[in-house]
Amino acid sequence: MPGGARIRPTILTSVALACGDDRPGLTDAAAAALELIHCASLVHDDLPCFDDAGERRGKPSVHRAFSEPLAVLTGDSLIVAAFETLARAAVADPARGVELVGILAQRTGMPGGICAGQGWESEARVDLAAYHRAKTGALFVAATQMGAVAAGQEAEPWEELGARIGEAFQVADDLRDALGTPDHLGKPAGQDDRHGRPNAVSALGIDGAMGRLRDILGGAIASIPSCPGEAMLAQLVTRYAQKLVPVSILHPGE
């Protein structure tokens, strides 16, 4: 139990509940698979060839604790475990299962998944919006779309909500990285500046990034598709917004 907020599977299950959730076993498998992919990305992100981070969630990162080769293999194995988890659950509804596999694969790989987002960090010139959509937004889009599909609904109407939540999370993460401390974050701070990575704070400034975050979250609530649990989802997004950038980071001592 490595810690972490498990935001993506929470969003996935919340969307499924809002849409009726008539296959809860499939929903659970989708949520677990999504979190496995996220954890794999963290293990790989921390490697010396990318962020070279020695700490994650207040503990030594995998490569620091167990070696770089084992960290690469750990990330790879987590990706395989994600798709194995979906495959096992797909017998409950093969059509939905196949669609869930397709969404997760699309949002993990190239050209628009988290692998593409990592690739942007190797480019000399970066499209910040495209970088955010792939690096962070992809798995949030997977969360909303997979939740809908697990409950028997169409994926497409849920893309905008996932994209907006993902962009909000990335802008907030840029603010935390710029303003937080390792004690607050459970990982090294100032990584964007240290590695010269594109980020909302360098592009917009602190006040501009905060304003952008508010605009994105307002649009996220407005983009929730019509469903039985629409009001519940709006409340979830509001609560989520309040936790994105803790007051203790923006205003130390309060």
Condensed to tens digits (0 to 9), the pLDDT of residues 4-63 reads 679 999 999 999 999 999 999 999 999 999 999 999 999 999 999 988 889 988 889 999
Crossing angle of the two packed helices 200-222 and 230-244, in degrees rounded to 10: 160
Condensed to tens digits (0 to 9), the pLDDT of residues 182-235 reads 666 566 667 767 766 777 888 888 888 888 888 888 889 999 999 999 999 999
Fold of 7-237: Farnesyl Diphosphate Synthase (1.10.600)
The count of C-alpha atoms lying within 13 angstroms of the C-alpha of 247, restricted to the half-sphere facing its C-beta, is 3
Q: Return the SS3 of 24.
A: helix
Measured from the Cβ of residue 220, the count of other Cβ atoms closer than 10 Å reads: 25
Note the pTM of the prediction, 2 decimals. Answer: 0.85
Ramachandran bin of 67, using left for φ above 0, alpha for ψ from -120 to 50, beta for the remaining angles: left
State the pLDDT at residue 202: 83
State the pLDDT at residue 122: 80
- Distance in angstroms (rounded) separating the CA atoms of residues 252 and 178: 13
State the pLDDT at residue 248: 47
Condensed to tens digits (0 to 9), the pLDDT of residues 74-108 reads 999 999 999 999 999 999 999 999 999 999 999 99
The count of C-alpha atoms lying within 13 angstroms of the C-alpha of 86, restricted to the half-sphere facing its C-beta, is 27
Nearest to 30 by CA among 134, 103, 117: 103
The DSSP-derived string for 140-206 is HHHHHHHHHHHTT--SGGGHHHHHHHHHHHHHHHHHHHHH--HHHHSS-S-HHHHHT---HHHHHHH
Whether the bond into 111 is cis, omega within 30 of 0: yes
State the pLDDT at residue 73: 98
